[in-house]
Amino acid sequence: MKKIFVNILLATSCLVSSCTKDFIELNTSKDGAKFTTPETLLGPAIHDVIKRNLNRCLRLTHELMQVHVAISDADEIHRYVIRPQESDYMWNNWYLQLTNIRDIYVGAEAVNSDAYKAISLVLDAWVSSLITDVYGDVPYFDANKGRQLVLQPKFDRQKDIYEDLFRKLEEANELFKTASLTDDEKSLDPLYKGDLTKWRKFGNSLYLRLLLRVSGTGELGAVEKIKEIVDTRKSNYPIFANNNDSAILRFETTAPYLSEFHEYRNVDFVTNSGYTTFFIDNLNNWNDPRLDRWASKKDGVFEGIPSGYPVGQVPSPRSQYLEALKQEPLLGNIMNYGELKLILAECALKGYIDGDVETFYKDGVSAGSHPVGRNCSGQLLRYHFCSLGSLYQR
C-alpha cells in the first residue's frame, strides 16, 4: 500500500510539473498580439446571434404562434409542452456572444477606435435587451467577467439593466458623431460595410424600441426621451429613413454568412413541419403575396393543418416551407424600417409624439411590402417584435 501511495504522489507531481512548465510562454502570442482586433470579432458575433435567433424562431416561436406545427408527436410545443432545456439554448449562446461583443469594446479602446466602441455599445444593448426581455432579472453588470474570476455574477433588476442600456445607446450616439473607419475595417463589417451613419441610425432606432417597451412604467424618463428623439431625429438622433437603413445581415449562399435555415437538411426543413390552418387561412383571406415566397401548395392550393392536434392523430403534410427560404438573403433581420414605423404609430397613438397614427401605420405596412421589408417582416419578424415584450413593462 505504501508503494502504491508513493507512486501516486510521483505521478501527480509529474503531471503538475508538466502542466505548469513553460505555461506562460506557450500561451503567449508569438506575434506580440495582446488582444483581438475589434473588427475581426464583429462578423462572427452578429452572425451567430442571428442564426441562433432564427433557430429558436423556427423551433419555438413559429409553433407557439401557430405559424407552423411539427408533423410528429415527438415535439409537443404546439400543445404548449416545452422542455426545460429549451430555455438554456438562448441563455448560453446570447451570453457567449455578449462576451465577444464586449471584447470588441476592449479592443477598440486599445486601438483608440471610437467607431468600434460605438458599434460594440449598440450590439451590447441589442443582445442584452434580448436576454432581459426573455428572462427578466439576469446577470448584467458582473456578467461576462470570467477572466476577472467573477464566476457567480449577481442577478440585476431589469429596471437597472434598461437604464444602463439607455446610457450605452446615448454614448454610442455621441461617439458616432466624429468616428471613422479605415477601408480595411469597413470591409469586415457584414451589416453596413462601414457606413457609420447607418450604424448610428440603427442605434437610435433600437433606442426607440426599448424606450417604448418600458414607457408604460412611467419611469426612466422614457416618454420624454421618445419625444426628444423623434423631434430631433434630423439634427441629433438620426433614425431609419427607409428600408435601406434596416439592420439586416444579408445571408450568402457560401460560408461564412450562411442562414440558419441553410444548415437544415432538406428532409428536416420541408417534411418535418407544416404551416397551420390558422396561419394559411388568414393569409389566404388577405390575398397575401408572401405566400408564394414562403409556402408550397398541396393539390394546387395553400392549405394548412391544425395546431394542437390530438396525440396519435398526426395530420398529413399540406403546405410547407419552400426550400428557396434556405437561400433567402434577407432573413437575417435585427431591426427594420417597417418596425420603426409601427413603433412611431404606437407612440403617436399613446400621445407620446405628434403625427398621424394612420400614416405611420400605413408606412410600416408599405415598408413591409418592399422586397427588403417583405422578407424580414411578417412571420419572421414575430420573433424580434411581437414575442419579445419587456417583462419590466408588465
Burial of residue 46, with CB atoms counted within 10 A of its CB: 0-12 exposed, 13-18 middle, 19 or more buried: buried
Give the model confidence (pLDDT) of 326-350 as tens digits: 888 989 999 999 999 999 999 999 9
Percent of the chain at pLDDT > 70 equals 84
| Cα–Cα distance measured from residue 42 to residue 124, given in angstroms and rounded to the nearest whole number | 12
The percent of residues in the chain predicted with pLDDT above 90, rounded, is: 69
| DSSP states along 290-335 | THHHHB--BTTB---B-TTPPTT-PPPP-S-B-GGGGG-TT-EEEE
Q: Is the confidence at residue 388, as pLDDT, over 50?
A: no
- Bridge-based pairing state of the strands 273-275 and 155-156: unpaired
Whether the per-residue pLDDT at 210 is higher than 70: the answer is yes
Instruction: Tell me what the mean pLDDT of segment 55-64 comes to.
Output: 90
Question: Which cell numbers in the block locate residue 70?
Answer: 411539427
Q: What's residue 35's pLDDT?
A: 64
Cα separations in angstroms, 247 against 131, 232, 279, 325, 391: 19, 21, 26, 19, 24
Q: What grid cell was written down for 371? A: 422586397
Per-residue pLDDT of 92-132, as tens digits, reads 999 999 999 999 999 999 999 999 999 999 999 999 999 99
Q: What is the pTM of this model?
A: 0.86
Tell me the CB-side half-sphere exposure of residue 230, using CA atoms within 13 A: 24
CB within 8 Å of 217: residues ≥ 6 apart:
159, 392, 393
What pLDDT, on the 0 to 100 scale, is given for residue 263?
Answer: 79
3-class secondary-structure state, position 273: strand
Mean pLDDT of the chain: 87
pLDDT of 311 above 60: yes
Q: Which residue has the higher pLDDT, 254 or 28?
A: 254
CA gap 222, 211 in Å, rounded: 5
Per-residue pLDDT band at 368 (split at 50, 70, 90): confident
